[in-house]
Homo-oligomer: A and B are copies of this chain.
Amino acid sequence: MKNKQWLLASRPHGEPTRENWEFKETDSAETGAGQIKVKVEYISLDPAMRGWMNEGKSYIEPVQLGDVMRAGAVGEVLESNSDEFAVGDKVYGNFGVQTIAVSDTKGVHKVDPALAPLERYLGVLGMPGMTAYFGLLKTGLPEAGETVVVSGAAGAVGGVVGQIAKIKGCRVVGIAGGADKCGYVVNELGFDAAIDYKNESVHAGLKEHCPDGVDVYFDNVGGDILDAVLTRINLKARIVICGAISQYNNTSAVKGPANYLSLLVNRARMEGIVVFDNARHYGEAAKEMAGWIQQGKLKAKEHVESGIENFPETLMMLFKGENFGKLVLKFD
């Protein structure tokens, strides 16, 4: 059985290009004791992948040169030497950017294709959904009546953040690039307003749409947008640092938030989150979110691209803001 895979060939300086990757076709490994073999059907494309390509300490080990690129994925069990998984089970795991994965089942769990399409387990029912849920509720601590702003609002995490904030009774303002995305978060996801950072002033938009200031800011992008929001925060505001996609491909230093002294003036807090810290509570969160989905309060959108060959370019869509909803790559 042939396995197609993308290996990390070199560490990028700035934007990753085809040269940083090596495409390899090889015989799939044997399924050893306790292991399962999985036919990967969808992989998740995440901004965090850019960080995994760098050398050096982060919240997770970097991908080593010559290794299969790390990726969350869903697929079907083809062979099983594990008591936990049977042939035909649909599973989520860290299977990497390859069509056939052999796994020791660590971090693998079953998903139910009858409850939701498989790709949804990479989005609202997967890590992005968990990131939004715990980041907003545990660190953002929104209260009914407060104003919540989220950047990357049409993305996998941002869209869920805004919807949960609405469920909690907040005024929600999204920041996204382009009229389509802004229309989507207001008309489809029910945000109160959206600011199109590509075509309008974020400063002016915040002033207009957050007349009572900003109590919670969930930041996926960093850079100038973070700085703009810092000028509008309220006393005791909470800024959740989930990511900084605008800075990941920098070839010079990251742009730090020049307006960070607004934290002092407003006795406000800026706090970083990593979803894995909540692993023990994923179950409860998934249950609550499934309820919201059933009640029509939480909508999901996946952006599906096809073909493992297209992985390098598909990943770049994230940094160009070309995805609309959770970006996944479907394998044949």
A residues near B (Cβ < 8 Å) are 57-59, 222, 227, 241-244, 247, 253-274, 277
Contacts and interface: CB of A to CB of B under 8 A. Distances in A.
A243 B267 contact: no
For chain A, what secondary structure do more than half of its interface residues adopt (helix, strand, loop), or is it mixed?
loop
B267 A272 contact: yes
Given A264-B59, A270-B263, A227 B241 contact: no
A259 to B, nearest CB: 7
B243 A227 contact: no
A330 B249 CA distance: 55
A274 B265 CA distance: 7
B277 A272 contact: no
Contacts of A244: 261, 264
Given A58-B265, A244-B261, A269-B271, 8 more contacts: A227-B256, A254-B261, A256-B259, A261-B272, A262-B272, A263-B270, A264-B273, A270-B271
A263 B265 CA distance: 20
Nearest to A253: B258
Given A256-B227, A256-B255, A256-B256, A271 B261 contact: no
Given A256-B256, A260-B260, A270 B269 contact: yes
Contacts of A254: 258-261
Contacts of A268: 271-272
A58 B267 CA distance: 11
Nearest to A260: B256
A1 B58 CA distance: 66
A268 B260 CA distance: 15
